[in-house]
């Protein structure tokens, strides 16, 4: 019984870490929570040996983790667009500066 309570408490703590990181879009904290999940899962007994509370928390954590992965993917796509825009603008500035450095005034 004591182990089941400890498993539930550890799951709940890692779930709170994941939830906080997800809620605030704290990507560094999300990475830490992801590592904590991995470390916890390798130490947990099989689901059949967990009590109902631990299984429920584990299922909620699995669902939230899937949402976090989706959110991370969306953030990566957003950052790709930002980087692409910066690169495109930098290329334009570079071309403009090269024209000016050759004494061209654009007229």
Domain boundaries, the chain: 2-76
3-class DSSP assignment, residue 1: coil
In contact, 56 and 106? CB cutoff 8 Å: no
pLDDT, tens digit (0-9, with 9 covering 90-100), for 56-95: 999 999 999 999 999 999 999 999 999 988 877 766 666 6
Distance CA 41, CA 33 (A): 12
pTM of the model: 0.74
């Amino acid at each position: 019984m004591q182990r089941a309570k400890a498993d539930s408490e550890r799951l709940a703590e890692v779930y709170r870490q994941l939830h906080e990181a997800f809620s605030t879009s704290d990507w560094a904290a999300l990475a830490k929570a992801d590592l904590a999940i991995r470390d916890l899962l390798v130490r947990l007994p099989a689901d059949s040996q967990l009590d109902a509370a631990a299984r429920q928390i584990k299922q909620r954590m699995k669902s939230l983790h899937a949402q976090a992965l989706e959110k991370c993917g969306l953030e990566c796509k957003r950052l790709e667009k930002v980087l692409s825009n910066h690169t495109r603008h930098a290329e334009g500035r570079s071309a403009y500066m090269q024209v000016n450095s050759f004494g061209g005034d654009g007229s």
